[in-house]
Amino acid sequence: MSPTAPVPRPPAPSPRTLGLRATLVVAVVMLLLILIPYLLNHSVVGAAPVRAGQVVTLGTFRYSPAPGWQIDRGASQAGLVSVLVKGATTYRLTPLGKQSSAASAFKAAERRYEATGRGRVGADPAPVTTAGGLTGQVASISGNTVAGTLTVLVGGGQGLGVTLTARHTAPLTAAIADDVVTMLDSVEVVGS
């Protein structure tokens, strides 16, 4: 056997090194606690301002959101539902699929809205026609916390449901009503 020299132990970290490591770990944890929610908020949920000239396509329909509104990215789904918000007002567009008439489309949209439990749709819908010639029906929405309208448009054998709701504490303004008319008039059937 050959004699072996004792293996030297590595020096113990100094208290200063241990303190620096602990400080760095705490700093990284704090950064992650701040950065992760911020990134999730801005990538998944929240609202994004409407860009000038932006067009949203929903099934066989498309429309132009009004500037000053924000797209609710958490509630909107590309091609399926578009949700805009402005203050306490929500504007939601949802394709209703094949519809033979404005009356049948209205009944489908009414059942869908009332199933949410947020309010009731008025009993006597009135006819409506957009500047682009789409026809439909509109009726009031009333609920414990919101009021608004349900509008249904039909074109190309398809229906589109549009709800406009505002909290009772912040009723609709004339400017919002003008925006809604402009957005409804911008609805058109894709390819027309």
For 156-191, write each residue's pLDDT tens digit.
Answer: 899 999 999 888 777 778 888 899 999 999 999 987
Residue scoring higher pLDDT (2 or 137): 137
Written as six digits, the tokens of 54 are: 């932006």
Q: In this structure, how many other beta carbons lie within 10 angstroms of the beta carbon of residue 140? A: 16
Checking if the pLDDT of 151 tops 50, the result is yes
Residue 54 and residue 28 in one domain: no
Structural domain harbouring 179: 48-189
Residue 38 shares a structural domain with residue 79: no
| Residue 84 in this model has a pLDDT that exceeds 90 | yes
Same domain membership, residue 66 and residue 35: no
Q: Are residues 97 and 32 in the same domain?
A: no
Residue 91 is predicted with a pLDDT of 93
**Considering the domain boundaries, does residue 32 fall inside one?**
yes
- Domain co-membership, 25 together with 101: no
Is there a contact between 192 and 138 (Cβ–Cβ < 8 Å)?
Answer: no
Question: How many domains are there within the chain?
Answer: 2
- 6 within some domain: no
DSSP 95-163: EEEE-SSHHHHHHHHHHHHHHTTS-EE-S--EEEE-TTS-EEEEEEEE-SSEEEEEEEEEETTEEEEEE
User: 86 has which bridge partners?
Assistant: 89
Shared domain check, 32 and 113? no
Is there a domain that residue 3 lies in? no
The pLDDT mean for the chain works out to 84
Pair (122, 145) in one structural domain: yes
The predicted pLDDT at position 43 comes to: 45
Tens of pLDDT, residues 36-54 = 655 544 444 577 878 888 8
The torsion angles phi and psi of 180, rounded to 5 degrees, stand at -65, -45
pLDDT at 44: 44
Alpha-carbon distance 87 to 176, whole Å? Answer: 10
Residue 109 shares a structural domain with residue 31:
no
Q: Is the pTM of this model over 0.85?
A: no
* Residue 146: pLDDT over 90: no
In-domain check, residue 2 = no
C-alpha 82/C-alpha 91 separation (Å) is 8
Of 6-20, 76-90, 123-137, 178-192, minimum mean pLDDT range: 6-20
